[in-house]
């Protein structure tokens, strides 16, 4: 193959890297493995792949080696690139841990998708080299016996125990309700049924058919046309789904169950379900949480000849019991996340209106469970000067509710100090704030920038600021020149060190854009902070002509690292055009 460099390996050529592996892992281990095996470096780039992996993925070595494993191969069920923050494989690589996963999608060389199980474990492929070994193998369903019609036959007791264990593992490993329901459907179809239907009760006791999944031509197909809102649950209806949604025991149903005059709107929808799906037999069980009924699971058979029997109901109830616990946890997590995000957003202020000056701000919560943190911004008038305003951006250490509460303390104290001493320099205000943080606030450490914004007799806006350990402001001129305001850099808050804090002053050119931001915009586990700052500067310069809202949205989309679990706060302003151009 061509002698190209492998990214992330110190620019070692591929052939050179393989030479390092020669006689070791590549030749002796990978070649002898029956399973598909791929070796990646610490940055996730493929450095070796055995023949089984090349065959399974439909790609030869030239197409694999040197490529990012995640970007090249990992997909969601729709064939879209899997977000890096949701990729458990990438997390295993970054943390150098051993992890396993089932039923995930990977892209073959011809563009088709293949569903595979995987195992990732750290390895040492050569002297002085570290990385990981990834094993990929096709998903098998407990080697169940096939009936004459090609459908899985009755489960043995061992199969049932394996199914329950796998259900527990799959459903407790996600805190996303939608993902948990799709996993439940994939576990039961086609192993137990041809169709899986999930109806959930909302917090307002409304019913919604959230998932209808069919096994068709060897794959799972979601039927969106059969999903959607459902009529309310009747209080005294004896029909199976209505009883299940009220928490009654599981039961069997068939087309004849709903052939008579419907006693409710739900019965009408069930008639439609049996007609559209062709189900001849169904088993329906309630999904119970710790306190309430959350919904119901319906498993239906259409192509498969055998009908459900009462002997199948205990297994179904065991499955829904596990599903109920998983959904309870997922809903609790989402509720807490929503409360945390709402609190964070309410703590962030409305921006003031400055004559002739555009201003906008953004806050994006972290995608991971931390979801709320200490990132904040602020902008307010300095009384009694109508044309003097304060700008601030900051980040309190931590990613939890304590950090958010600490952020509120810091912001409120800053406002009080700045408001009560409007003539004070930014450095003096931050010095007082640092003393307060050390003695009366419950904040470990924090970074921030405080700036004073005024307009001079020449109608030009001036920025006076001090920086307490925060990433520097970025100034972008209208013609696309961008540079960081590196002056006035001092120590962060809460460090316990008393040092004079500097101030700096600059004139903001007409139609210039000033950006204050937190480190979540530029930091990545995979790259240095300098890499992130250079990336931000280049993109911001290219977007100088954009309207301010589009400028900020594009930066978040193009610059924010996909593998960073931190939240991001931004505040941007744009100065007016010269008077002769207005």
Residues 6+ apart with CB under 8 A from 361: 348, 351, 377, 379, 569, 570, 571, 572
Predicted local confidence at residue 13, as pLDDT: 43
Whole-number percent of the chain with pLDDT over 70: 84
Q: What superfamily in CATH does domain 157-335 come from?
A: GAF domain (3.30.450.40)
CB count within 10 Å of CB 301 equals 23
pLDDT of amino acid 143 = 39
Whole-angstrom Cα distance, residue 322 to residue 90? 28
Name the residue ranges covered by the structural domains of the chain. 14-138, 157-335, 348-581
Question: What is the predicted pLDDT for the residue at 2?
Answer: 43
Q: Which residues contact 407 (CB under 8 A, 6 or more apart)?
A: 347, 373, 374, 375, 376, 394, 396, 446
pLDDT at position 345, please? 61
Q: Within the chain, which residues score under 70 in pLDDT?
A: 1-29, 31-34, 125-128, 139-154, 158, 336-348, 367-373, 384-386, 398-404, 563, 565, 579-582
Confidence at residue 430, expressed as pLDDT on a 0 to 100 scale: 95
- pLDDT at residue 363, rounded to an integer: 87
254 CB-near residues (< 8 Å, 6+ apart): 274, 279, 280, 281, 282, 307
Tokens matching residue 104:
């995930």
What does the pLDDT read at residue 495?
Answer: 84
* Residue 194 pLDDT: 93
Write the DSSP symbol of residue 258: G
Residue 153 has a pLDDT of 59
Q: What is the pTM of this model?
A: 0.52
Cα 83 to Cα 128, 341, 518, distances in angstroms: 31, 21, 22
- Contact predicate 44/70, CB 8 Å: yes
User: pLDDT of 368-399, one tens digit each?
Assistant: 544 556 788 999 988 765 578 999 999 987 66
The class of domain 348-581 in CATH terms is: alpha beta
Give the length of the chain: 582
Q: Where are the beta strands (DSSP E) in 139-247?
A: 195-201, 207-216, 219-222, 228-230
Alpha-helical (H) ranges within 278-400 are: 313-347
Tokens read off for 1: 């193959």
CB 524 within 8 A of CB 532: yes
Angle at 418 between CA 413 and CA 420, to 5 degrees: 95
Q: Which CATH superfamily is domain 14-138 in?
A: PAS domain (3.30.450.20)
pLDDT of residue 348: 66
Is there a shared CATH topology between the 14-138 domain and the 157-335 domain? yes
């Amino acid at each position: 193959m061509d002698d190209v460099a492998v990214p992330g390996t110190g620019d070692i050529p591929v052939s050179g890297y393989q030479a390092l592996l020669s006689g070791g892992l590549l030749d002796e281990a990978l070649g002898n493995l029956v399973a598909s095996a791929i070796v990646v470096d610490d940055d996730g780039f493929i450095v070796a792949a055995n023949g089984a992996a090349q065959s399974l993925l439909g790609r030869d070595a030239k197409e694999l080696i040197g490529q990012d494993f995640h970007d090249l191969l990992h997909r969601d069920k729709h064939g879209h690139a899997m977000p890096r923050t949701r990729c458990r494989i990438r997390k295993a690589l970054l943390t150098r841990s051993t992890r396993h996963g089932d039923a995930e999608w990977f892209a073959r060389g011809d563009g088709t998708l293949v569903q595979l199980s995987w195992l990732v474990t750290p390895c040492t492929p050569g002297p002085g080299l570290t990385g990981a070994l990834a094993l990929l193998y096709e998903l098998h369903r407990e080697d169940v016996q096939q009936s004459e019609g090609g459908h899985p036959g009755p489960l043995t007791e061992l199969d049932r125990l394996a199914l329950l264990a796998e259900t527990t593992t799959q459903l407790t490993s996600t805190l996303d309700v939608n993902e948990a329901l799709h996993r439940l459907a994939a576990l039961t179809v086609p192993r137990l049924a041809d169709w899986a239907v999930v109806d959930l009760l909302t917090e307002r006791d409304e019913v919604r058919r959230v998932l209808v999944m069919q096994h068709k031509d060897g794959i799972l197909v979601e039927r969106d046309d059969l999903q959607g809102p459902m009529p309310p649950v009747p209080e005294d209806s004896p029909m199976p789904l209505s009883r299940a949604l009220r928490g009654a025991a599981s039961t069997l149903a068939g087309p004849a169950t709903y052939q008579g005059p419907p006693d409710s709107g739900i019965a009408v929808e069930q008639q439609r379900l049996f007609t559209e799906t062709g189900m001849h037999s169904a088993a329906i069980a309630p999904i119970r949480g710790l306190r309430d009924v959350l919904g119901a699971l319906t498993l239906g058979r259409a192509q498969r000849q055998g009908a459900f029997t009462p002997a199948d109901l205990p297994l179904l109830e065991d499955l829904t019991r596990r599903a109920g616990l998983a959904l309870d946890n997922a809903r609790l997590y989402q509720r807490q996340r929503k409360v945390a995000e709402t609190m964070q957003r309410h703590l962030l202020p409305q921006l003031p209106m400055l004559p002739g000056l555009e201003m906008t701000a953004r806050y994006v919560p972290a995608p991971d469970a931390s979801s709320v943190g200490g990132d904040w911004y602020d902008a307010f008038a300095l009384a009694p000067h109508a044309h003097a305003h304060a700008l601030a951006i900051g980040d309190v250490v931590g990613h939890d509710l304590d950090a958010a509460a600490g952020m509120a303390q810091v912001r409120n104290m800053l406002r009080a100090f700045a408001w009560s001493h409007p003539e004070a320099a930014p450095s003096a205000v931050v010095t007082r704030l640092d003393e307060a943080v050390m003695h009366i606030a419950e904040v470990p450490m924090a970074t921030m920038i405080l700036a004073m914004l005024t307009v001079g007799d020449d109608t030009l806006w001036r920025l006076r600021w001090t920086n307490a350990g925060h990433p520097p402001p970025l100034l972008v001129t209208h013609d696309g020149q961008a540079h960081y305001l590196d002056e006035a850099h001092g120590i962060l808050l809460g460090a316990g060190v008393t040092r004079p804090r500097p101030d700096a002053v600059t004139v903001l050119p007409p139609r210039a854009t000033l950006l204050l931001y937190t480190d979540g915009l530029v930091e990545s586990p995979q790259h240095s902070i300098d890499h992130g700052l250079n990336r931000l500067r280049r993109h911001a310069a290219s977007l100088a002509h954009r309207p301010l809202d589009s400028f900020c949205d594009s930066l978040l989309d193009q610059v924010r690292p996909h593998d960073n679990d931190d939240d991001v706060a931004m505040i941007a302003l744009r100065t007016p055009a010269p008077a002769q151009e207005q």
